Structure 1
Amino acid sequence: MIQAFGLTSNPRKELPPAVDDVSFEARAGCVTTLLGTPGAGKTTVLRLMLELQQGRGTTYFRGRPLHRIAHPSREVGVLLGDVPGHPARTVRGQLRMLCAAAGVPVRRADEVLEVVGLVSLRDERLGTLSRGMDRRLGLACALLADPHTLVLDALTDGLSARERHWLHGMLRAHAAQGGTVLCATTDPKEAARTADRIITLEQGRLVADQDAADFSRTRLRPRVAVRSPHATRLAALLTKEARTAQRSVEVVPEAGNRLSVYGSTCADIGETAFRHGILVHQLADEVGDMGPGAGSTRQGEPSACREGRTLGEGPVGDGAMALDEIRAAGTTRETDSTAGQKTAGVTPEAAPAQGSATTPGVSTAHGSAGQRPSVAAAASTGTTPVTRLPEPNGPTGRLSTVTRVSGQPVGRASATSAPERPRSARPRSSDALTSDSLPPLAPPISVRSAPSPLRPLRYELRRAAGVGTGFLTGAAVLVSSALVAVLLARVGHTPQHRLLAAWPQELPLPPAALGAGLLGAIAFGDEFRHPALAVDRGTVPRRLGLLGAKLLVAAATGLLLAFLTVGCDAEVLYLVYGRELARVPADWLALTASWIGLVIGCAWAGVLAAGIFRSTTAGLAAVVAVPVVVVPLVQRVLEGSSVRSAAGFSVRLRELFLAEWPFGGERYLAAGTRMITQPVGGALTLSLAALLCAYLLTTLRSRVR
């Protein structure tokens, strides 16, 4: 279950906070809806719950705050807005990459695709999906790690009635199997049709916390549902009589010869039909929108939350059967000592109790964390216990409880009661109040560091190979390098080693180094432009495991690009000008080491700069800045007047070691030292050291916060 206490966003300058002291709970086995007009604070509440936005308050997911859960994606499935991902990535490639991020087997991607009905579109690009298919993919991403809780924002916006019905069936199936579902919507009729409990927000405040039946009775207009083969004629007669009698009656035609009449009664409509000889097949009083196409869950039907309905006992939509099939497939999850054990295909009632494995001093009101709450006894008395945070001045580890009567918390205005006092009536800091009389502040919510994939190397490989950007960049580098080499050979006056690398004196870097730097910058730049992880949460950069994977993949890519470029240039020069320009230089070993160091260094500089500045452009700019800005500074320092020089460094380095290194290791060490002492090598080494230190400092600062 979800328990939110005192969620309050930080005020914006002199404006009131977008969310002010919102507390509620969403129980397991129920579909809970956050309802409010645009700007009421629904998305802000969800972001505060998920620690994506700074503020105050506490949210417990089965007794633990999100930052105390080792792998949040396995506990909470989230969809806020559109599906994050590169538009050129395929549906299956996106899910396989997220499998590596969540640490689940790769076969889970195909299983979830079958659940959401996207098997036939698995090779489609994300940028070509329709709105309905995008929502299905978002639900697939949320269900990928088989979480207990789903947190969804505006899931059905812009969808057809059929797509809405399917998605509601999926949510109902997840709740029927013991999961917790919390979704936000702006449509009160949709909330009344599909939710078990509705939490209404207005101007950032909670104004009602009701069951669906209570909400429909107090917040939706009553109507009369009429079905007749002469619906058009009956609608015209009802409108005419209402105009004559000067009564406020609204007649809304529905599909299938149906009418929804607001502001009238069954008796009046029946008399009108009888007087004019109109046959009526249905005439019933209803509350809210319960007409055709309203879905399988009706206000008059006992909800799964109140009656404990399980899957298969009621019409929960096509998505229920699909979700039941995949959960019965026996997909298992790795054991997590912090998050507890959870096995797909096993209902939460069979899971071991985890009520004791919560935050110290905090206990839940429903026993075990994975157990569905039993509310039959509470429903008979009309009261429901709700846990609250410990009082600051009260005993440690004790939870105070309040009582909700008929869905309304004591002390909070209901939908039909008098409104709360205005904000100005609340005590302010400037009022003459003692410290004991001031209301206690909720604990602060800090934005946590961004998540890191559980399998970073596998994640990075799938990210890099999932789109054609790397392949196109490599092809462009090879073609441009070959053209530059041919032009340099035609002009002449270019050394052999620069000719093979296609590096003229006028260019700061050869095409291969620029291409490697661009690929390195894309490695982190696309993470922020098209977030690959489930939710773009937290600060930047991410953990060092992901950085190591990106540096390793970037180095391998740069090394491959360096060898391919030299080989392609040598082959083109041989075909055009003969063997003379394609011969191997005499000092090929030192040149090869310098060439590999240059390309890999540029790739690493792009990775680090893009990770720090969150931009591909900034990463590439940092690569270009090395020869343009840093190299002249290093040359000026080295060319300055000095009393002593480092002459004979290689001889003294050889004398430093008493024994000879195997395979001539001292030669490679001396070659590497000479490369670093060169202006370009020294500048690149200095830049990499500075970028790495900045990355580490940013990481440590985000962890401290």
Structure 2
Amino acid sequence: MLQAIGLTSARHRGLPPAVDDLTFEAGSGCVTALLGPPGSGKTSALRLMLELEPGRGITYFRGRPLHRVAHPAREVGVVLGDVPGHPARTARGQLRMLCAAQGVPASRADEVLDAVGLAGLGDQRIGTLSLGMDRRLALASALLADPHTLILDEPAEGLAAREADWLHGMLRSHAGRGGTVLYTTQDPKEAARSAGRVVTIHAGRLVADQDGADFSRTRLRPRVAVRSPHAARLAAVVSREARVARRSVEVVAEESSSRLSVYGSSCAEVGDAAFRHRIPVHQLADEVGDTGPASRAPGDGLLGDAADTGAASPARGAADAQDASGPAANSGGAQLPPPIRRRPARGPLRPVRYELRRLFGVRTTTLIIAVTLVASAVLSVLLARNGRTPLPHVLVAWPSLLPLPPAALGAGLLGALSFGDEFRYPALAAGRGTVPRRLGLLLAKLAVSAGVALFLALFVVLASAESLRVVYGGDLVRVPSNAVPLAMSWSGLVVGCAWAGLLAAGIFRVTAAGVAAVLAVPVLMVPLIQAMPKAPTARSMSGLPGRLRELSWLRWPHEADRWVLALVRVVAHPVGTALTVSLSVLVCAYLFTSLRGRVRW
């Protein structure tokens, strides 16, 4: 069961809240529709339930608020908007990545693809899917962890009748298993046809909370849709004749000045009245109309009680059955994926596996690595031509004209995409995430980005050395005497750039901020540190490794002393100092924003 209590969104610039003290329930084993016109606050209400927007109130999912649920994806499946995935990622790759995030077996991806009718399209990229297939994949993402509650925002908007009926059949099947289903819609006929309970809101407030039968009886009635250039005159004629005949007829002027809705009459009666008074009619048709507060307009032709003219649900059902003909219209044909066995999380490998699948699930990573290797090899060959560039700079392809070598820029870009792509194409469910943005996910991203950066740094040196050997011969490349500190500084540079891009993108939620943070290290931070006044050094750090070894809880062999000294020299270098300061600031900012978001909820 879902219980929303006192949901109230935050006010913006003195405007009334989009959701104002909204309270309702969505029971287990039932499909509940949240009905309202555009701008009524339906989406804001869902985001408040999922703790995605600031505001007041609380939502209980089987007695627990979402922030108290250990595994949100196993309790709530969410569909907000389009498929939350990179358009270049395949449908199967997207689901397998989410499997790693949600702690379910990778085979679950094929099970849900088969259940939503996409078994043969698993290798198709998300960006090439049609609207109907996109909605099917979104539903598959929501069903991946076998959640008890499904929350969907306008799931059938823009779909053909056949696709919409299939979708609602899946929702009814989920409710038939004892699950809770809540979806939003602005179509009263869709709500009456597919929901067992309808919650109507307007201007962010609760208007009615009814079961499906009561909603159809009170809100949906047969009507005659009339369009005429003399609509006001025709309305007066129909109302006058109804009063004379003592019939209960209601004439409502629609938003368009030429359209009328006549309740309690028929096409023949309205057409005869127009003919007798020589009023041209451009449209005359039977419809099922909504008598809710959003569509009612004041008029002189209100006679009798609007709710006493009947619901005409059989006619509506027959018309809907004709529109949704075909095998997909049969709700009994909608088969949910089989339940999965609940298993505890597998420890830290879960976010690491998710991050690896996220990183290598698109071609962008391979393209960046390939461009970096090619650019580094070309620059190495060009730098070695004049013979004046030091060999370490030649091997890492770092000309003095560039603020950073291509490898550092590539590592920084890959790190920035780690969080930047998630915020641009959300991979974690509905913005909050099936793996909440906590320390575990950050550590997984830091570890994976560092590993990729180190491999990229190694491959760049090997590619440059091989290019120099092929072009100039093998005498040019030799191992420097200070290879250890050079290797540490080179590794620290690429890993630091990767982490700077990752943290900045996670803080500002955009890839460009990560790239800017990487470029700010040599462009801003290094000149700033070099411009700081330097006092004469009175003491030396020589003998530091030996003094550290004296500490009782630290033990390492004497051969490691040179590594410790090399690390100290790297950090003491202006670039190392600038990178260390930048990373420290970014880590503090990331933790601050994460804690602030956690305290807010």
Mapping for residues 311-350 of structure 1, pairs under 5 Å = 320-324=332-336, 326-327=337-338, 331-334=340-343
Contact kept in structure 1, 2:87 and 2:126, CA below 8 Å: yes
Q: Tell me the secondary structure at the aligned position of residue 478 of structure 1.
A: helix
Letter of the aligned partner of 1:557 in structure 2?
V
For residue 320 of structure 2, the aligned residue among 294, 306, 324 is 294
Check if 1:642 corresponds to 2:543.
no
**Counterpart check, 1:573 vs 2:468:** yes
Q: In the alignment, what sits opposite 1:410?
A: none
Is 1:188 aligned with 2:185? no
CA offset at residue 218 of structure 1? 1.5
Partners of 1:27 and 1:461 in 2: CA distance: 39
For 2:73, the equivalent position in structure 1 comes to 73
SS in structure 1 opposite 2:492?
helix
Matches within 5 A, 1:103-502: 103-222=103-222, 241=272, 243-244=274-275, 286-287=312-313, 290-292=316-318, 294-295=320-321, 320-324=332-336, 326-327=337-338, 331-334=340-343, 455-502=350-397
Percent of residue pairs identical: 60
Match of 2:12 in 1: 12
* Aligned position for 1:57: 57
Matched position secondary structure for 2:32: strand
The alpha-carbon deviation at position 293 of structure 1 amounts to: 5.4
How far apart, in 2, do the equivalents of 1:49 and 1:485 lie?
Answer: 56
| Residue 532, structure 1, aligned to residue 427, structure 2 | yes
Q: How many residues align?
A: 531
Q: Is the 8 A contact 2:169 2:334 kept in 1?
A: no
What residue identity is the alignment partner of 1:559?
L
| Distance change (3 Å), C-alpha of 1:319 and 1:469 | farther
One-letter code aligned to 2:542: S
Higher helix share goes to which structure?
Answer: 2
Query: For the aligned residues, what is the CA RMSD?
Result: 3.1
1:202 is displaced (CA, Å) by 1.6
Q: Which residue of 2 aligns with 1:630?
A: 525
Matches of 1:316 and 1:574, distance apart in 2? 64
Q: Distance in 2 between matches of 1:108 and 1:17?
A: 41
Distance 1:70 1:245, change over 3 A: farther
Q: Note if contact 2:161-2:323 (Cα within 8 Å) is conserved in structure 1.
A: no
Q: Which amino acid aligns with 1:175?
A: A
- Spell out the pairing of 1:88-103 with structure 2 (5 A cutoff): 88-103=88-103
Alignment CA distance shift 1:261-1:674 (3 Å): closer
Indicate which of 411, 414, 418 corresponds to 1:519. 414
Q: TM-score, normalised by structure 2?
A: 0.82
**Displacement after TM superposition at 1:630 (Å):** 1.4
- Structure 1 unaligned blocks of 5 or more: 225-234, 254-258, 263-283, 299-314, 337-451
1:136-189: CA deviation from partner (whole Å, max 9, x where unpaired): 111111111111111111000000011011001101111111111111101111
Report the CA distance shift for 1:196/1:454 in structure 2 as closer, same or farther (over 3 A).
farther
Amino acid at match of 2:209: D
| 3-state SS of 1:650 partner | coil
Q: Aligned partners of 1:91 and 1:178: how far apart in 2?
A: 28
- 1:580 partner SS: coil
Structure 2: gaps (5+ residues)? 225-265, 290-309
CA distance in 2, matches of 1:331, 1:203: 40
Give the equivalent residue in structure 2 for 1:691.
586
Q: Which moved more, 1:166-175 or 1:199-208?
A: 199-208
Residue in 2 that maps onto 1:84: 84
Query: Would you say the 8 A contact 1:84–1:531 is kept in 2?
Result: yes
- More deviation, 550-559/529-538: 529-538
Q: 567-576 or 661-670, which moves further after superposition?
A: 661-670
Call closer, same or farther: CA 1:574–1:249 in 2, change over 3 Å. same
- The SS at the match of 1:86 is coil
Provide the rounded CA distance (Å) in 2 between the counterparts of 1:665 and 1:559: 21
Q: What's 2:257 paired with?
A: none
Question: CA contact under 8 A between 2:218 and 2:311: conserved in structure 1?
Answer: no
Higher mean C-alpha deviation, range 598-607 or range 108-117: 598-607
Question: Could you tell me how far apart the structure 1 residues matched to 2:5 and 2:599 are?
Answer: 24
What corresponds to 2:447 in structure 1? Answer: 552
Partner of 1:446: none
Q: CA deviation at 1:573?
A: 0.9
Q: TM-score, normalised by structure 1?
A: 0.70
Q: Bigger shift: 118-127 or 654-663?
A: 654-663
Distance 1:656 1:531, change over 3 A: closer
Which amino acid is the alignment partner of residue 536 of structure 2? S
State yes or no: 1:673 paired with 2:565: no
**TM-superposed deviation, 1:571:** 0.8
Offset at 1:14? Answer: 2.9
The amino acid across from 2:376 in the alignment is S
CA distance in 2, matches of 1:693, 1:58: 30
Partner of 1:357: none
Aligned counterparts of 1:127 and 1:571: Cα–Cα separation in 2: 39
Contact kept in structure 2, 1:194 and 1:297, CA below 8 Å:
no
| SS of residue paired to 2:416 | helix
